[in-house]
């Protein structure tokens, strides 16, 4: 792997870094405090082409790949994670299933609007009775032969980007059949926002990611055309495993950004803050803490870029994606805790970015596969699981 960014990727990195610094940093704290979705910032990200980064130009994308997406996510999360997760979920969970598994007609219908950020997509996998054990899906979809429509019933929980004013679709996983041994056959189905019987609850009150949109969804006899099936019937389980494998690389890039943001803020603060007659950055205890934080962010970056390079070049990347996600989320929590400590009492005040980073870090060990699930995947790749 060449660890130098190409001139195009370096240009993208610089552009997003500047945008995060100039357009996100001054405004996002207020949105976060008000638990409000930052439409104007998301619109601007759409204009910049960020939602289309890894998609071909023929569908309205930028012709990039997962490496480009990761670079953008890392730079955004250095400043704010609500913005970064809105992009991550919009691309990896909203648009990517349509691109990977959709028919040509589905791609033409949805991708140009998803790539421009005019419309956000969401992915509804998790249910109130289980997230890690996604095979235990209870939502059902029955094909009505009279109308040639799927009839969907069930509940999904914790779904990102599912209830904004610009949400256009949610892809849901549902049991469409059972195998002879009784095991459920799961399929993915596109449900456009506003379909009768599809209800979006009020946003959750969350510990972090407060300027991002997360909702519970319910489906009561929701009817969509048979043509809204995404990919092959009964292949939904395999499809979402692929989507989650890729998504973990994106979450890892986001976690790396948060970890690096903690370093950025800590260096700045350690130079300014005086204690016992000198800046606290002059004390070795603080220097060593920040040096360790930098080491962890750097290593996490190597891990996600390695997994992304494997994905882009068509090599197996499942284990590397799980390693990168596990490591970067662990060290994001470490760095957020240490950055808060370096800020002393100010670190506990919401006006300081590190307070937001601390609150935003924990979910990284939970979403898109918990740390326990990542360990299970790594052990399985090592031939250990039964």
Ligand X SMILES: Cc1cc2nc3c(=O)[nH]c(=O)nc-3n(C[C@H](O)[C@H](O)[C@H](O)COP(=O)(O)OP(=O)(O)OC[C@H]3O[C@@H](n4cnc5c(N)ncnc54)[C@H](O)[C@@H]3O)c2cc1C
Q: Helix, strand, or coil here: 297?
A: helix
State which residue, 23 or 200, has the beta carbon closest to ligand X.
200
Closer CB to ligand X, residue 53 or residue 125? Answer: 125
Q: 77 vs 363, which CB is nearer to ligand X?
A: 363
For the chain, the distance separating the N- and C-terminal CA atoms, rounded to the nearest angstrom, is 33
From the CB of 367, what's the least distance to ligand X, in Å? 5
- CA 217 to CA 234: how far, in whole Å? 22
> Is the CB of 122 or the CB of 152 nearer to ligand X?
122
Q: Does 373 bind ligand X (CB under 6 A)?
A: yes
Shortest reach from residue 244's CB to ligand X, in Å: 9
Subset of 301-360 contacting ligand X (CB under 6 A): none
Site for ligand X, residues 187 to 206, rule: CB under 6 A: 206
- Applying CB under 6 A, which part among 53-61, 295-303, 335-343, 361-369 lies near ligand X? 361-369
Rounded to a whole number of angstroms, the minimum distance from the CB of residue 83 to ligand X is 14
Q: With contacts defined by CB under 6 A, how many residues of the chain interact with ligand X?
A: 24
Q: Is 44 annotated as catalytic?
A: no
Q: Which residues contact 88 (CB under 8 A, 6 or more apart)?
A: 73, 247, 250, 251, 254
Maximum separation of any 2 CA atoms in the chain, in Å: 81
CB of 182 to ligand X, least distance (A): 21
The residue from 20, 67, 125, 263 that contacts ligand X (CB under 6 A) is 125
Residue 34 has a CB neighbour count (10 Å cut-off) of 11
Q: How far apart are CA 117 and CA 331, in angstroms?
A: 31
Task: Return the CA Rg of the chain.
Answer: 21
Q: Which residue has the tokens 């914790």?
A: 158
Q: Is 316 helix (H, G, I), strand (E, B) or coil?
A: coil
CA angle 160, 161, 164 (to 5 degrees): 140
Per-position b or e across 99-119, b if 16+ CB within 10 A of its CB? bebbeeebbebbbbbbbbbeb
Annotated catalytic residue within 233, 368, 372, 381: 368
Within 231-290, the residues that bind ligand X by CB under 6 A are none
Mask: binding to ligand X, 140-169, rule CB under 6 A, as x and -? ------------------xxx---------
Q: Which residues bind ligand X (CB under 6 A)?
A: 89, 93, 122-126, 130-132, 158-160, 206, 209, 214, 363, 366-370, 372-373
């Amino acid at each position: 792997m060449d660890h130098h960014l190409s001139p195009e990727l370096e240009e993208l990195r610089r552009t997003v870094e500047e945008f995060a610094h100039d357009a996100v940093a001054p405004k996002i704290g207020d949105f976060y405090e008000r638990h409000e979705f930052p439409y104007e910032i998301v619109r601007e990200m759409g204009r910049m082409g960020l939602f289309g980064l890894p998609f071909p130009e023929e569908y309205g994308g930028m012709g990039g790949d997962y490496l480009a997406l990761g670079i953008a996510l890392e730079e955004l999360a250095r400043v704010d994670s609500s913005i970064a997760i809105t992009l991550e979920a919009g691309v990896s969970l909203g648009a990517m299933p349509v691109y990977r598994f959709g028919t040509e007609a589905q791609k033409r219908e949805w991708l140009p609007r998803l790539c421009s950020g005019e419309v956000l997509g969401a992915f509804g996998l998790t249910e109130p009775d289980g997230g890690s054990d996604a095979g235990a899906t209870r939502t059902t979809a029955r094909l009505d032969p009279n109308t040639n429509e799927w009839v969907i019933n069930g509940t999904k929980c914790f779904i990102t980007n599912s209830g904004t004013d610009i949400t256009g679709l949610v892809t849901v996983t549902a049991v469409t059949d059972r195998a002879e041994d009784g095991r459920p056959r799961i399929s993915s189905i596109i449900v456009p926002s506003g379909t009768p019987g599809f209800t979006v609850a009020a946003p959750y009150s969350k510990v972090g990611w407060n300027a991002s949109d997360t909702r519970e969804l319910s489906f009561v006899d929701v009817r969509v055309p048979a043509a809204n099936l995404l990919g092959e019937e009964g292949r939904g389980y395999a499809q979402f495993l692929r989507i989650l494998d890729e998504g973990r690389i994106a979450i890892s890039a986001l976690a790396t950004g948060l970890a690096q943001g903690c370093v950025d803020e800590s260096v700045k603060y350690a130079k300014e803050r005086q204690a016992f007659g000198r800046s606290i950055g002059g004390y070795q205890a603080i220097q060593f803490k920040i040096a360790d934080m930098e080491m962890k962010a750097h290593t996490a970056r190597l891990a996600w870029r390695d997994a992304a390079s494997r994905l882009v070049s068509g090599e197996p990347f499942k284990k590397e994606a799980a390693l990168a996600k596990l490591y970067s989320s662990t060290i994001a929590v470490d760095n957020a805790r240490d950055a808060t400590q370096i800020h002393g009492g100010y670190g506990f005040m919401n006006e300081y970015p590190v307070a937001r980073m601390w609150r935003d870090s924990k979910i990284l060990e939970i979403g898109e596969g918990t740390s326990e699930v990542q360990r299970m995947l790594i052990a399985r790749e090592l031939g250990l699981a039964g």
